Amino acid sequence: MPVPGGSPLTLEGGYRNVYGTRVGGTYDPLTKEAGVNVQVPIGDHQRQLFFGIDATGNPETKNWGAKLSLTKKIAPRTPTAGEAINAITGGALSRAPQGAPGVIQTDLRNNFMNSLTEEQLLMLNQGVKQYQREAVDQALGIRPGAEKYGLELGFRGAGNQNPTGSSQVTPGLLNEALSDLEQKEPGKEQLDYFIKERGLIQ
């Protein structure tokens, strides 16, 4: 697919999301070469473990290549259950009640937990897990206003491949030159030889 100046065109596209998935691809219509680069989280995205593959191929030249990767990123610290409970209760369990300065935080938390019904304990447990996940997501940048996903599609030219300034010779121009030479004669046989015998034009 030529562009002005005779440069080939490479098509590019990609997808990414806030959870760490990334997919990119390239395709050259002139050489038929294609490439793909993929990264996906393994299991829960909060584990920050990713599998990747980088591959290229060309069905015409039979050139193929691939590389697999495994990446582990440092995951943010998860709040403890005690920190989550204190946050859910507005910090009430981290403060001793008025008139009882001798009550320590552990006893206060134990008394609070023992006062809950089974249903309330279940709700508290779910609240703790949700708080912990939201805290880790916040540290990973997964929060309101963050980019949820993105799509890209475009092209890239290889630039001017004829830096000397000479213009690209096309079959139409060569036919016109041959027509002129038929009238002027000198050099026509040599030009015919190089064009037809040497295969300058397929």
What phi and psi, each to the nearest 5 degrees, are found at residue 200? Answer: -70, -30
121-155 tens-digit pLDDT: 899 899 999 999 999 999 999 999 999 999 999 99
Sheet holding 9-17, edge to edge: 63-72, 49-58, 33-41, 22-28, 9-17, 149-157
Q: Count the helix, strand and coil residues of the chain and give each as a percent rounded to the nearest 5.
A: 35, 30, 35
| Residues with pLDDT less than 70, the chain | 1-7, 92-106, 158-202
Sequence-ordered list of residues with C-beta below 8 angstroms from that of 113, at least 6 positions apart, any chain: 121
- Break the chain into its structural domains and give their ranges: 9-75+143-157, 81-140
- Rounded to two decimals, what is the model's pTM? 0.65
Residue 3 per-residue DSSP state: B
Q: Do residues 188 and 32 lie in contact, with contact meaning Cβ atoms separated by under 8 Å?
A: no
Predicted pLDDT at 5:
46
Which residue pairs from 198-202 have beta carbons closer than 8 angstroms and sit at least 24 positions apart in sequence?
201/171, 201/174
Instruction: Compute the distance between CA of residue 7 and CA of residue 29 in angstroms, rounded to an integer.
Output: 12
Q: What is the mean pLDDT of the chain?
A: 80
